[in-house]
Structure formats: structure tokens, C-alpha cells
Amino acid sequence: MGYPKEGLPSADATTFPPAKMTVKATKCLRLVSSFFLVSLVSNAWAEPASSSDDERMKFFENHVRPLLVERCFECQSGENIAGGLRLDAKSLTIDGGDSGPAVVAGSLEESLLVSAIRYEELEMPPDEPLSAKQQAVIERWIRDGAYWPQSDSGPSDQAVTDFSQWWASQPLQPGPIPASSSTTDSHRAIDRYIDRALDAVGLQRAPATDRAQLIRRLSFDLIGLPPTPEAIERFVHDDRPGAYRRLVQRMLADPAYGERMARLWLDLVRYAESDGWRADAFRPQAWRYRQFVTDAFNSGMPYDQFVALQIAGDEISPGDEESLAAVGFLRLGIYEYNQRDAEGQWQNIVDEITDVTADVFLATGIACAKCHDHKFDPIPRSDYYRVRSVFEPLTFVDWERPNNRTAEQQREVDRLLAELREIEGDDIKKLGESVVEKFPLHIQAMYRKPPQQRTAYEEQMAYLVARQYYEEGLAGNKAEKKLGKERAERRAEILKQLDRFGANPYQPADLMTIADATGQIRPTRLPGRSSGRSFEPGIPQVFGGDQLDCQPPQESPRSTGRRSALAKWITSENNAIAARVMVNRLWQYHFGTGLVRSPNDFGQLGSPPSHPELLDYLAVRFVESGWDIQAIQREIVLSETYQQSSVHPDADRAMQMDADNRLLWHKSVRRLDAEQYRDALLVAMGSMHHQVGGPSVSGTPPRRSLYLRRMRNSGDEMLTALDAPPGLVGTAKRDVTTTAPQSLMMMNSPRIMGVANKFAERIRRDLSEVPSDQFDRAFVRRGHLLIAGVPADDATVALLAPLVAGGNSGQVDVCHILINSNAFLFID
């Protein structure tokens, strides 16, 4: 939002309840073929059709097009033209193939397509006829005039063959760094690019903000925490040259930096610590991926290595625990614990992995090409399956650390395991078998097949069965009921003893990771196809369309090398988009909005860059620095553009010319995000426990919010109210909403009142030696300094000091007001 605006108080004003700040987010619902097919089989289409174009368009897009894509396009679209007939464009469908027009609007009898789907003369589709309901869809469509959008009148592949105009796929072209502006004289490249755009419309940047606001801004941006009053005081009075640069470097070296950056990245990759769906089972090992990300940012890991380990860590360093934790990125999706449709579940898992990989590293929505050529971007359907085939052979692995037990310890483990088998007898095995029997027979056969004889696909299916065998059959409550009280109690004692040695067979594995299955790899084909065209690993045509050179890595000869080949290409010199995407994310982290507003969509449905040459300048710098993330952040925060004030001396005129501040004529005010808010409350109370790393904790302990257990269906109430995402999908930019529940929580929640109490206690401790006649005003000043980083003005002191004089309850009220003030909730 622009700032200041009429009616909005200044950043140091104390208001209650908080002022509104709403950002409207537009979300694209990606409808895939499985959704369409459910629609097709769950409705009757015999009802009369509406004659309105709107209704006919909806019917075509929701039911006809998906059916043609699913059952007809493999043989009748693009280059795949059986009998000279194409069904992927209106003109070609009406004109027909070798046998004449396929569709005659309004006439079922004259439409060869109807005859073909009825198997009266031609037989389409050749492998299996359409169901009666699917045939009714086609018949209703033709009877109602065979509506087809005019924009689709030409062949669909023509819409995606011109790749030359898509800006995101072009080579990096920063152009020469602009000369200094006529009105400013910055020696930094970022400022010169910004000033050039401002000069073009007759605007200038706002003056620099004051040092107290600058350190607070920087602290929240780089480490996610407010600076202490002492740190603010030191920086404000540090008159030595380079004071700000040294401050930046100290924050980049702080372990809290990695924690802050990890939180931003975890949003993006849909991190959570539970399965999702209805059961939402806890994943006790998920934190290991979070730890990898935190450590990577703190160690300065180059971005190309960061990408490679998340996509192919098991191939690159198969024996390295950090690398195996990194590739847990591919295990972060939703899992349905009792889904007996193993094939359908695996299809969804691999689709989701494909989609999120393209979103995160390429900001390219290839999921829109899953069931048909992308309607807006130059991405044909074949591109989706070329990328998806990279992940065709992967399988999930629950990895255990090699044991380091002594010979004596191993003998004790063997004895306990033998007793466990005796206690359980056949009862537990039968319980597991009862789970296996719920799967389709052909899936059961894959599970029972000797591992060394399985294909890669059979190994994938066997994993899903084995996981349910274990989780539902062996490790659940049913096992205790099956054994009876006495045996169950002895079994529990044995398992407890095995825990001491890390040998409990029913404990979760140490790591959730992946590997490529070792059996024959199933060809990647269109959904539901067991024959016909297959797709080899490759990159989208818009980025060159090359086949990936997939060679088993020397470090992991049993793997296919598909994923490491993809990772290598993503950060190769031939791929400009990866560097653009990441520097745009870094810009967004520091300005609230990226140079490209749509951080996960660099396509036609997204936004073009506001400063394209600046984006490319940063991308070139990123690559030349050796993919050094901190180097780009350092350049951003050292710029005068970043350090400018949120208040502009000519705001009215600037607002008329650029209300959205896309030209960056001032620094936009931002609300604390959910984790910054909670963590800042802990700091205000003096209660934060600064332990870095380790497993997540449940409840509301005084640790950084990064370490709170992150359940998809039941997130922390405070974080959820303030727009923390649940991890169901990747979130590149959070919604920022203003809702009644937020205000009610801040005003009435016992949790917030508890914070106000502890905050008041902390201030009283700090002022224990202040004379009583000065205490009331000192209390307000100290409280305001702790939560806002700047002294309270005289008006605020005069307003709140009389409440302090009312004793403990009044002091708590003052603290409650302060933690609901703009000065606390917003970063100026």
C-alpha cells in the first residue's frame, strides 16, 4: 500500500485496534483431468441444454474439452492425426478429416464423430469405447450447436510454437548500467535503474529513513526479530564510516538469519509436518528437511548446490545424511494413509512433485498443460510429460542410520527381537495381511513379488502397500487389541527396551527421503494409456526443448541420473529463468513485492517485470557471484532504494502517478507476518528461548515460531489467524488480510492477555531502580521502546501514563495497548 495515506496514523502513533491493511490475492484453480472425470461420471446429461452462450461455454470447458483431451487427443491432435482427423480446434473438427466433417452443429445423424463413438462404423477411441454418460456429453454438445470458443478456431499447437516473444525465456539482457540521475548521484547500480524509471515520469525517491527505523526494518528482514534497544542505541550513535555495512554483515552472520530465510523458503515448498487429508498424521522426521534449509542459508550454500541437493541429493551424495534430508523436498506433499487406490495415489504424488518443482525453481505453471496445451503460455502438453518423466522412477525411502551398536548390545537386541516375534506370533502378521487384502488383486501381486524381480512401478506400488501394512496393521492400536492385555503389555516393555538401542521396528525411520527404483522403468504416457506415445526426460520447448542427458552418477551408479540432470540444467548457463526467479524472490522478501509481482508465474497470466533490466542485472550478478544468495541480499539492502523513508515529501503527486508504488518512490510499510508477530511478542516479554535447530515442539513453548509443530489441519491458532499458510500447497506470497477474528484475538485472547501480563512484568524489572515519581512516564517510554524501537512521543506518554498509575492492572492495559499499536504491528 502507498504510505502515508489520508486517515492513516504515522508509524509511531499508538492506535487500538490496529489499522487495516488488506492485500487482495488472486488465486488460480488448476483443474486437472481427474476432477473433470469425476464431473463426467457423476452427472446425467440428458437434461435440455441452455441456449445461452455463457452456459454453452461452461459446458464445453467443463465437460467437452476435458473429455476430448482425455480420450481423443492422443490420436487426433497436433502431429498425432489418425485418418486425417483433428479434434483440437474448431475449424479442423468442423472441416473434418479424410472422411469429411466430424461434427455438424445441431445434427447427430450427420456428425461422423457420433457414429464413431457409438462404434457404428469408425471406432473411436480404438482402445475402449466411451461410457454411456460420456457419449451423452458429446451428443448434448452437438445437439446444442457444437459451441467452441472463437479463440480456439485454429490448431492448438500453433498457439504454442512461437516461443520468441516470452520474456522469461530470453537470455539475460541487463543492458548498460544507467548513468547517474540528474537529480540524484548514487554509485549503486540498483539505485540507478530505479532512478532512471522515476526520472522518466518526473519523480524522485524519498529521502533516507532515520537510523532507528532502518535497523528495525533490516532486523525484521534479515533475521525476523526486532533489534534490542541497546543494539538500536549503538547503531544510531555509531559515527564511524561503514556502520551500516557492518550492521548488515553482523545480521547475515547471525544464526537467526538462516531461521528467517528458512521460514520464507518453507512457505514456498509447502512444508508441513503432517500428512494432510482427514487423518493428518504427524511426520516426526520432517524437521530434518527444515534443518537442512536453515543450515544451508547459514552456511552460505550456493544456490545451484541448494537446488541440486533438493532435487537429487540421493544421487549426488547417496551416503550423506544432509543430502538425503535435502531431497526430502520431494516428500513434502500430502499423503492419504488409507488410500487403497495405490495407482491413483501415486499418480497424484508424482504429478504434485512435477508441478511444485516447476513452480519453485522455474516459476512456470506447467500444471496447466497437464490435460491440454497451455492456453496462454507457450507450453504444449508434451512438455508436461517430458518433465514428469524425470520423476517416473523415483520411490519413497524411509532411511535408517547405520547402527553403531557394540557386539554385546547387538546380542541384546537380537534377544529382544526374538522374544518380540514369539510374543506376537502370527497375530500381528495376520493383522498386516488384512490390510494388504484391501488392495486390488494386481496391486497385491506386485507387493508379494520378490523385490529383485519388481519393475520400478511395482516397487512404487509395493511401497504404498507396505507403508499401510506397517502403519495401519502393525504400529496402530489394532495390534494391542489383537494381542490381548497381557501380551500387549509385555510387547510394550520389549519395544521400550529396543528404543534404547534404536532398534524398535515400529518406530518411524530417521529420514524421509527418496531414491530411484532399480527395476525396469515404466514409460511415461498420457494418463490411462498403456501403449502409444511415450515421453523421455526433457526440458520445456520454450527453454530449448533439449532431451536431458541422464547418466547414472558415478557416486550412485544404481540411480538413473534423471533428477541430477534436471537439477544441472535448472542452474545451467543456458537457462536464464532460474536466476531471474530467485533474485525476484529475494527482492520480494525485502520490498514486499517482487519486480515481477507474480513470483510463481512468469507466464502470460502473471505480471511482467516493472524493471526488466534491473531484474536481469541482479540475475547476472547472482550467477557471476557463484550463486551467492547473501551477495544479492547485501547489494539490495545496501542500496539507497532500500534505505529510503516510507514518507515522501511529494506523496500526493506521486500517488496520482504511481499509487501501487511499482516505481519504488518510497519504501512501503508492511505488517509483521505471523511468525514475526509471535516472535516479537516473545522478545518483548524477555521470554524467547534461543535454541537453534532440533525437532519441532508442540503447544506454545517460548521458542521461535519456526520450531513449532506445523500440522496441516490444525495449525497454531495465532499463526493461522495472521495468515500463516497450512502447507497444503506452496505459497510464494502470503495473503495479508484484516479480519474480525484477528482483532478479537488481539483484544480478548487469554494468550494475548498473558503476553501483556509478562510484558508488564518485564518492564517493571527493567525499571526496578527508577524513582516512583518518575515511574509512570518511564513505564510508557520503556514499553514503547521495547516494542517499537523508538521512544514514545510526548502525546503517547501523556495519554498512557495515567493508566500506569492505576497499578498492575493499568500497567497490563498499557502493555495490551502497545502490542496492538501500529508502531508494533508494522515495519516502517
**Per residue in 179-234, pLDDT tens?**
987 777 888 999 999 999 999 999 999 999 999 999 999 999 999 999 999 999 99
Choose from 35-44, 49-58, 173-182, 698-707 the range with maximum mean pLDDT: 698-707
From 220-224, 469-473, 742-746, the region with the lowest mean pLDDT: 469-473
- Distance in angstroms (rounded) separating the CA atoms of residues 211 and 209: 7
**Cell, residue 368:** 496447466
pLDDT at residue number 10: 35
Greater confidence (300 vs 526) lies with 300
The pLDDT-based confidence of 531 (bands split at 50, 70, 90) is confident
Helix H or strand E segment including 35:
helix 33-41
pLDDT at residue number 31: 22
Q: Is the pLDDT of residue 26 over 50?
A: no
Distances (CA, A) of 194 to 197, 646, 662, 665: 5, 16, 10, 8
Average pLDDT of span 745-763: 95
Choose from 403-412, 423-432, 635-644, 803-812 the range with maximum mean pLDDT: 635-644
Q: Return the half-sphere exposure (C-beta side, CA atoms, 13 A cut-off) of residue 150.
A: 1
- Nearest partner of 330 among 308, 353, 314, 358, judged by Cα: 353
pLDDT at residue number 784: 96
DSSP notation for 267-293: HHTT--SB--TTT--B-TTTHHHHHHH
**Per residue in 607-617, pLDDT tens?**
899 999 999 99
pLDDT at residue number 370: 83
pLDDT at residue number 11: 35
Treating both helix axes as pointing N-terminal to C-terminal, what angle do 629-638 and 243-253 enclose, rounded to 10 degrees? 150
Q: Is the pLDDT of residue 80 over 70?
A: no
Q: Is the pLDDT of residue 6 over 80?
A: no
**Cell, residue 424:** 506376537
**Cell, residue 104:** 455438424
**Cell, residue 25:** 490475492
Q: Is the pLDDT of residue 485 over 90?
A: no
**Per residue in 233-256, pLDDT tens?**
999 999 999 999 999 999 999 999
Alpha carbon 112 to its chain's center: 47
Q: Phi-psi bin for 106: left (phi > 0), alpha (psi -120 to 50), beta?
A: left
Q: Is the pLDDT of residue 659 over 80?
A: yes
Q: Is the pLDDT of residue 150 over 90?
A: no
The pLDDT-based confidence of 59 (bands split at 50, 70, 90) is confident
DSSP notation for 564-580: HHHHHHHTSTT--HHHH
**Per residue in 569-606, pLDDT tens?**
999 988 999 999 999 999 999 999 999 999 999 988 88
**What is residue 208's DSSP assignment?**
B
Q: Is the pLDDT of residue 642 over 90?
A: yes
pLDDT at residue number 83: 52
Beta pairing partners, 395: 515
pLDDT at residue number 622: 98
- Distance in angstroms (rounded) separating the CA atoms of residues 113 and 759: 74
Q: Is the pLDDT of residue 87 over 90?
A: no
pLDDT at residue number 52: 58
From 1-5, 458-462, 624-628, 722-726, the region with the lowest mean pLDDT: 1-5
**Per residue in 395-449, pLDDT tens?**
999 999 888 899 999 999 999 999 999 998 888 888 889 999 999 999 999 999 9
Greater confidence (297 vs 36) lies with 297
Q: Is the pLDDT of residue 528 over 90?
A: no
pLDDT at residue number 815: 96
pLDDT at residue number 158: 38
- Distance in angstroms (rounded) separating the CA atoms of residues 168 and 689: 44
Distances (CA, A) of 216 to 16, 232, 291: 22, 8, 26
- Distance in angstroms (rounded) separating the CA atoms of residues 405 and 416: 14
Do residues 523 and 534 touch, judged by C-beta distance below 8 A? yes
Contacts of 254 by beta carbon, 8 Å cutoff, 6+ apart: 222, 223
The pLDDT-based confidence of 69 (bands split at 50, 70, 90) is low
Residue type, 731: T
> How many Cβ atoms sit within 10 Å of the Cβ of residue 278?
9
Q: Is the pLDDT of residue 94 over 70?
A: no
Q: What is the mean pLDDT of the chain?
A: 86
Q: Is the pLDDT of residue 17 over 50?
A: no
- Distance in angstroms (rounded) separating the CA atoms of residues 265 and 706: 11
Q: Which is it for the CA torsion 494, 500, 504, 507, positive or negative?
A: positive
Is the backbone peptide bond immediately before 553 cis, with ω within 30 degrees of 0? Answer: no
The pLDDT-based confidence of 635 (bands split at 50, 70, 90) is very high
Residue type, 456: A
- Nearest partner of 304 among 18, 489, 566, judged by Cα: 566
- Distance in angstroms (rounded) separating the CA atoms of residues 297 and 558: 31
Do residues 602 and 577 touch, judged by C-beta distance below 8 A? yes
**Per residue in 368-395, pLDDT tens?**
888 777 777 788 888 999 999 999 999 9
The 10 Å CB-count burial string (b at 16+, else e) for 695-714 is: ebeeeeebbbbbbbbbbbee
pLDDT at residue number 429: 87
Q: Is the pLDDT of residue 88 over 70?
A: no
Do residues 81 and 97 touch, judged by C-beta distance below 8 A? yes
Alpha carbon 343 to its chain's center: 25
Contacts of 487 by beta carbon, 8 Å cutoff, 6+ apart: 423, 424
Helix H or strand E segment including 513:
strand 511-516
CA geometry: angle at 302 spanning 331 and 321, to 5°?
45
Average pLDDT of span 76-86: 51
DSSP notation for 784-803: HHHHHSSPPPHHHHHHHHHH
- Distance in angstroms (rounded) separating the CA atoms of residues 767 and 777: 11
Average pLDDT of span 486-515: 91
Average pLDDT of span 23-39: 26
> How many Cβ atoms sit within 10 Å of the Cβ of residue 132?
8
Q: Which residue has the cell 513485492?
A: 593
